[in-house]
Amino acid sequence: MGSVQKLWLFCCHSFCFDGWGEALKYGPFIAALRKGEPKHVYLLAGEERYYIEKAKAAILESLFPAGEGLRDALEEAAPDMDADALIGLLETVPFFVPKHVVLVQDSPLFREKKRTAADGEEAKAAKGKKVGADKKEERLLHLLADMPDYAYVIFLCAGKADKRRKAYKTVEAAGAVLDADAVRPWEISDWLAGKLAEIHREFDREAHAYFMGAVSMMHEVSLSYLDKEFEKLALYTTEKRIGRAELAAVFSGLPEVSSFAMMDAVSEKDVKKALTLLRRQTADGVYAPVLLALMVRHVRQLWQAKLLLAQGVRGKALGPSMKLNPFIAEKLGRASMKFSEPVLKRAMLSLIDADYLLKTGQGGAELLEDAVISLCR
């Protein structure tokens, strides 16, 4: 990296007052985008594709309000495009429109470099290629640090970007970086508040508890799926305030919703309701191993809550330790008081046995029913 470029990056880092600077999560990223002038270089990277797509749409909207001129200005580059070819593309002066925007999917510029061992002539050839590639990359980074007024580039990366790469540091300094981490169940509150505001709705207390409980059952939260379900919810009812019944009607097809209701019944030791919900899920085609995994997780959470209560951790303070939404953790804490440690231990051992019998074809859904009955006694 040349001395001029280093000075530029230092200035960008040291004197940036427009809300950008280091990589931002989705909320602060969108806030900074709305507050200041659009950047010429963006990197949108992370495991949550939903946030990447939403951020891309927001950037394009800021550059082309109402989409005017977008079609003629937008161009996609191949992921493996040579650095010099990308430079040529970025420096191409647009016709008919004042801006030229290039989208680059999964560029190797932001991936972790793989080291390969080579000997003799192969090593010399590899070293020569590397020097040539490095020089090309330096020319590209110099351009990214000081883009033409008409040029914009948006790099999209599925998965985490390597923060040690020069390309990452250049974009972070001269442009803007979105860190789109996958959302965990206990982190869903901010997304929920934003989505409800977007569709001009609100949850009553029971609906909020119902939604949080269903999400707490998910191993992975798909914001794209939830986003579509909320759009259905907005069409399903014109009422501003949404109750549990309306929410359940729209979300009933989600296995985690029925599983949450079943676990809720187990927590209340309502054996009749728990068995009814279990049989409904198996009739709907939910695989026994999936239900077994959810039951194991629930028993483990009850046990964990019981141990934390014994250590003096109470109420919503259970949330951080259990990595759950505080409301759900508090509810599990109350439910755990209905179960003794020996009962939870027997239930866990029973579920472990059921797992073995299911995997070896020696049993079916009746094993889950036995586990539910033993927990509800």
What string of H, E and C letters represents the secondary structure of 344-357?
HHHHHHHHHHHHHH
Q: What is the pTM of this model?
A: 0.69
User: Do 240 and 279 belong together in one domain?
Assistant: no
The 10 Å Cβ neighbour count of residue 178 is 30
The pLDDT score that the predictor gives to residue 254 is 66
Instruction: Say what percent of the chain tops pLDDT 90.
Output: 39
Residue 38 main-chain phi, psi, to 5 deg: -60, 145
The pLDDT score that the predictor gives to residue 248 is 82
The pLDDT score that the predictor gives to residue 255 is 62
Residue 94 CA to its chain's centroid (Å):
35
CA-wise closest residue to 111 among 154, 153, 143, 158: 158
User: Do 197 and 175 belong together in one domain?
Assistant: no
219 pLDDT tier (thresholds 50, 70, 90): low
Which of 16-25, 104-113, 329-338 is predicted with the least confidence, judged by mean pLDDT?
16-25
Check whether 119 has a pLDDT greater than 80: no
Question: What is the count of structural domains for the chain?
Answer: 3
110 pLDDT tier (thresholds 50, 70, 90): very high
User: Do 204 and 126 belong together in one domain?
Assistant: no
DSSP structural state of residue 165: S
Of 167, 182, 197, which residue sits at a domain end? 182
User: Do 50 and 146 belong together in one domain?
Assistant: yes
User: Do 12 and 137 belong together in one domain?
Assistant: yes
375 pLDDT tier (thresholds 50, 70, 90): confident
The pLDDT score that the predictor gives to residue 9 is 46
Of 135, 150, 182, which residue sits at a domain end? 182
Which SS3 state, helix, strand or coil, does residue 153 take?
strand
Helix-strand-coil split of the chain, %, nearest 5: 65, 10, 30
- Please name the residue ranges forming H helices in 217-287: 223-236, 244-251, 255-267, 271-283
User: Do 226 and 261 belong together in one domain?
Assistant: no
Give the range of the structural domain holding residue 151, as residue numbers without chain letter.
Answer: 3-182
63 pLDDT tier (thresholds 50, 70, 90): very high
Mean pLDDT for all residues in the chain: 85
pLDDT digits (tens, 9 = 90+) for 250-297: 876 666 667 777 888 888 889 998 898 888 888 877 788 888 888 898
User: Do 268 and 246 belong together in one domain?
Assistant: no
Check whether 238 has a pLDDT greater than 70: yes
* Cα 187 to Cα 325: distance, rounded to the nearest angstrom: 7
User: Do 201 and 320 belong together in one domain?
Assistant: no
- The CATH number linked to 288 is 1.20.272.10
Question: Strands (DSSP E) along the chain, which ranges?
Answer: 41-46, 74-77, 100-105, 151-158, 176-180, 202-203, 241-242
310 pLDDT tier (thresholds 50, 70, 90): very high
User: Do 189 and 165 belong together in one domain?
Assistant: no
CA-wise closest residue to 176 among 159, 153, 203: 153
The pLDDT score that the predictor gives to residue 13 is 45
User: Do 112 and 89 belong together in one domain?
Assistant: yes
User: Do 148 and 16 belong together in one domain?
Assistant: yes
User: Do 130 and 218 belong together in one domain?
Assistant: no
CA-wise closest residue to 27 among 183, 199, 226: 183
- The CATH number linked to 190 is 1.10.8
Of 182, 210, 233, which residue sits at a domain end? 182
